[in-house]
Amino acid sequence: MAKLKSFVNNPYQENTYLLYGDSGECAIIDPGMYTSAEQNAVVNFITENSLKPVMLLNTHCHIDHVLGNKFLFDQYGLKPRFNIGESETLASVVVYAPAMGFRYDASPLPDEYLPESGTITFGHTSVELIFAPGHSPAHLCFYDKEDNILIGGDVLFRNSIGRTDLPGGNHNQLIENIRLKLFVLPDDCTVYPGHGPETTIGYEKQHNPYL
């Protein structure tokens, strides 16, 4: 049984997640830590719970989801893993961060990119990859089938969906991917999005005004 811990980080109020099981190995997903206080909160939680970070995952590579990539590389030697289609999105962060007033330490590049489908495993935890672009060009969601939780990034929110007006965004593609790839998950699947509170697939099927 995996556990999920969330931290709200940076001016965009981005959700950073730690997914960990009884083996103590953990994956850090979408590290948005920006201030030293935000960095310390994550490190302290890892230390206090005797966790061993073994994987750094990005659902996608917009600035608010990668601000902590370099910090975690320095701290734990982890390089991020994401789909190769997000490479240009990541490369552009260095260019636009200063214009937005952000101090950004460039993220290291993956040794290994994530495919569009398949399963990744750490400790006793397995997550399925769900390829759901639309908010960004090669966005992945991570589905822990055993625990019935989806770490969804910026695809589906409570009563909302990801914005599609950024480079590589496509509104119709996003809607289609939510319908065909997320809405086939169990209604009681809990969705942990990149921003805001969690929701369930069933709730969004019934109440999401965009769908």
Dump pLDDT digits (tens) for 128-181.
Answer: 999 999 999 999 999 999 999 999 999 999 999 999 999 999 999 999 999 999
Distance (Å, rounded) from C-alpha 142 to C-alpha 27?
11
Query: φ and ψ at 113, to 5 degrees?
Result: -90, 155
Distance (Å, rounded) from C-alpha 38 to C-alpha 59?
20
Q: How confident is the model at residue 89 (pLDDT cuts 50, 70, 90)?
A: very high
Q: How far is CA 154 from the centre of its chain?
A: 8
Angle of CA points 78, 82, 85, to nearest 5°: 145
Which CATH number do you get for residue 127?
Answer: 3.60.15.10
Range of the structural domain that residue 74 is part of: 3-207
Instruction: Answer yes or no: are the C-beta atoms of 59 and 152 closer than 8 Å.
Output: yes
**Overall pTM surpassing 0.95 (yes/no):** yes
CA gyration radius, the chain: 16
CB atoms within 10 A of CB 101: 7
Looking at the 3D structure of the chain, how many domains does it have?
Answer: 1
